[in-house]
Structure formats: structure tokens, C-alpha cells
Amino acid sequence: MESRLGLIEQSFNLRYSLYVREVLDELPDSFTITDPCISGHPIVFASRGFLKMFGYSSDEVIGKNGRTFQGPKTNRRSVMAIREAIREERSIQITILNYRKDGTPFWMLFHMCPVFGKEDGRVIHFVGVQVPIQRKQRRSGCGFGRNGVNLCEDGSGFRETVLGSCRREVCSDSMVESNRVLAMDFGLGSDDRELEIDEFCEASDLEKGKAATAINNILSMLTHCSELTGKLVCGKRCCLAGTGLLGSSLILSLGRIKQSFVLTDPHLPDMPIVYASDAFLKLTGYARHEVLGHNCRFLSGVDTDFSTIFQIKESIQREQTCTVRILNYRKDKSSFWNLLHISPVRSASGKIAYYVGVQIDESCKNEDKHGLSPELRQHSVVGAVKVAVRSLSMGVGTSNS
């Protein structure tokens, strides 16, 4: 738990200036910021407006997934529309039904957009803004609403409700997270509340404009705070294609694998790490930004057997699997015997897309709670990675539910 909270803290501190939270809290809007690179796509920032509107404290929100704000009448089709936007790393504006902490539902306009790292084009965060829709119900009829959501089901109006959360998932199991809005007292009586749930609410042009303006203001603040650290962010992907970046959907799928492993790209110079699991970061003591883009050799040290390293290189050249016992070093210079298994990962076309390296600390090899041997644990990781990569290459979206 402590390591996860540390990752959430680093999500902001390594990218933006130290006073970024103070600056964002000056904005009156309801919004959240989520990090798709952390397992579970958790909320890493929630505005004061969001906390006031939803009735939660910051401690109850930070680290949680956007599904927290769904309820029994949240429309799963709308949730899937948000998940698809996360998978495709694009913006979405959609009307959804969310729930406050006390269980009361309310309609709101949810506007989510990705935040990209300017130097490499990776998705750094998702920003999700929530604008409450003023009570303007319309009788639901048949047809299709905005975003292609069917408003009619079995002859009756289909409720276009959605999870209102923010982030890759921000909303959803690993989905997009929600954003806050200016606190407002709607003064709904019980009868009014039932009416609002049962009838689809269309956002007005004014509310849509308010959401778009909030997004622009937040992106402007994040851009400014990133300039002070030299790790620039922007609202549009700025780098050239073909740099070996992993998509948000694949990152989310890999984030569900709890073992220590890395994914490397053999098509890039020096075969750098393009994904590192949370367990790998915990095992080695490195932060994610210290690992991504670097070759695995940084784990080697003065007493590492270089004949073992040569054996690994030879297996990779032959496109074969490899299992070795190698002395590696953590960031704090302490050493550990690493039971390392390396395997090529092929796309649906049969071409090698990545290499996966699974690490097990020899001193902890018998600590698996399911009683699996190290070999079985490593093979299960390789299998899960292969499924995730092949599913994406075949165009199959993945999402938590």
C-alpha cells in the first residue's frame, strides 16, 4: 500500500512543480486527474470542487478508480464509450449519471481528455471534468443520442447514464477519472430526484462550453507547471509516430499482472524498457521514470557474471527463451540473486513485438501464496503478457469491469 501511495505521489511530483496542487485548487471547477500508468488507473488529484460536489474527502478519493462514482442505474454502454476513449487515447464529452457519497444520483456532463508528455508522446494523465446538468429533463424517445448511445431499449427510453469518473480507466475499472465542478445546491426533493434518474438529461451548449473551458484552463495550468521542471506536457501528442510507445489499453492490461516483469522493445536502439510493473519497481527500488527508456543492464554490477549476460544476449539474437540465475543490484546498491526468465512476445501476425523479462528474488522464491513454483509463476506472467499484446494487435479492446 505504501509503495502504491508513493507511485501516486510521484505521478505529480516528478512531472510538475511542487506547487501544482495549490495552483489547481484555485480553479473553481470539479475535476479529477488520473494516471493510466499506475495499476488500476487511480485518481492522483481531485479538486476541491469535486470533493464538495461528491461529498468525499481527499483521502477517500485519491488512489481509487473512477468506478467509485458509478451506481445501480449507471448505463454500462456509456461506461464502455468512456473506456473506448481511454483505449484510443482521445477526448470524450458525454452525459452520465453519477452518484454522490450519500447515494444520491445526479446527471452531469463528463468531459475527459488525455495529457501527453511532449518529449515522447506518452499519455501521462487523463483529466476528467464534471459539470452538473441543470434540471432540464426530456422524455426519452427512440433513436441514438450523442456518442452513438441508444436511447431506446425494448421500446422504452434507455437511460443514458454513465460513470462519471476520471481516468484511463480513469472512469471504469481502469478507466477515466472524474473531475470536479463548482459546488452547487440543486435542492432536489424526493419526487424530483426520481424524475431526474428516470429521464435522460441533455447538456446545454452553455454546460458543454463550461466543460471545454475548464479543460483548457486545467491543461494550461499543467503545461505551465511542467515548464518549471523541464518535463513538458501538452494536450495533443507532439512527437513522431513509431517511437515504440505503449498504448493506454495495453498499459492497463499489463497493470493487472502483479508479478515483477519488464517489457523491452527489440526494434528500438539498445532495446530499452518500455514497460515496468509496480512489482519490478518495488523489487529494484527504482522509480518508473528511472527505468523506462533504459536498457536492463543498469541492474548489473561489479560482481555480475558477464558470461550470463552473454548467454542472455545470445538467446535474444536467436529469438529463443532463456532462464538464468544472475546477480543483480538494486538502486541502493544492495544485491540479490535474480531468477530471470526472458521470452519473446509475438504479435497476432507472428512477428516479435517485445521481449518480456520476469524477475524473482531467489530469497523470496517460495513465498507465493498459491504455492506455485517460480517456473510456473514466470510462465503465467509470460502467458498473460502474450494474451494482452496479441489481443491489442488483433484490435480487441480490453477493459476492467
3-state SS, one letter per residue, for the chain: CHHHHHHHHHHHHCCCCCCHHHHHHCCCCEEEEECCCCCCCCEEEECHHHHHHHCCCHHHHCCCCHHHHCCCCCCHHHHHHHHHHHHCCCCEEEEEEEECCCCCEEEEEEEEEEEEECCCCCEEEEEEEEEECCCCECCCCCCECHHHCECEECCEECCCCCCCCEEEECCCCCEEECCECCCCCCCCCHHHHHHHHHCCECCCHHHHHHHHHHHHHHHHHHHHHHHCCCCCEECCCCCCCCCCCCCHHHHHHHHCCCCCEEEECCCCCCCCEEEECHHHHHHHCCCHHHHCCCCHHHHCCCCCCHHHHHHHHHHHHCCCCEEEEEEEECCCCCEEEEEEEEEEEECCCCCEEEEEEEEEEHHHCCCCCCCCCHHHHHHHHHHHHHHHHHHHHCCCCCCCC
What pLDDT score was predicted for residue 238? Answer: 61
pLDDT of residue 361: 94
Predicted pLDDT at 102: 93
Q: How many CA atoms lie within 13 A of 356 on its CB side?
A: 23
Q: Most distant CA pair in the chain: distance in Å?
A: 76
Q: Which of 257, 255, 263 is nearest to 41 (CA)?
A: 255
Name 352's bridge partners.
346
Cα angle 177, 15, 165; round to 5: 5
- Residue 237: the pLDDT is 66
The per-residue pLDDT string of the chain (401 residues; one tens digit each, 9 = 90 and over) reads 556 677 777 777 778 888 888 889 899 999 999 998 887 889 999 999 999 999 999 999 999 988 889 888 888 888 888 888 887 788 899 999 999 999 999 999 999 999 988 776 778 899 999 999 886 544 444 444 444 444 433 433 333 333 333 333 333 343 333 333 333 333 334 444 444 565 677 888 899 999 999 999 999 889 888 888 888 888 776 654 444 567 777 888 898 899 999 999 998 888 899 999 999 999 999 988 888 888 999 999 889 998 999 999 999 999 999 999 999 999 999 999 999 999 999 987 788 989 999 999 998 877 766 778 889 999 999 999 999 888 765 544 333 33
pLDDT given at position 124: 87
Q: Do domains 2-234 and 248-393 have the same CATH topology?
A: yes
- Residue boundaries of the structural domains of the chain: 2-234, 248-393
Contact indicator for 311, 358 with CB cutoff of 8 Å: no
Sheet holding 261-264, edge to edge: 273-276, 261-264, 352-361, 335-346, 322-329
- Nearest-angstrom CA–CA distance, 96 and 284: 42
The CA distance from 307 to 61, in Å, is: 49
Q: What is the pLDDT of residue 3?
A: 61
Report how far residue 266's alpha carbon sits from residue 244's, in angstroms, rounded to the nearest whole number.
Answer: 10
As a CATH number, domain 248-393 is: 3.30.450.20
Please return the burial class of 7, using the count of CB atoms within 10 Å of its CB with bins 0-12, 13-18 and 19+.
buried
In angstroms and rounded to an integer, the radius of gyration of the C-alpha atoms of the chain is 23
CATH code, residues 2-234: 3.30.450.20
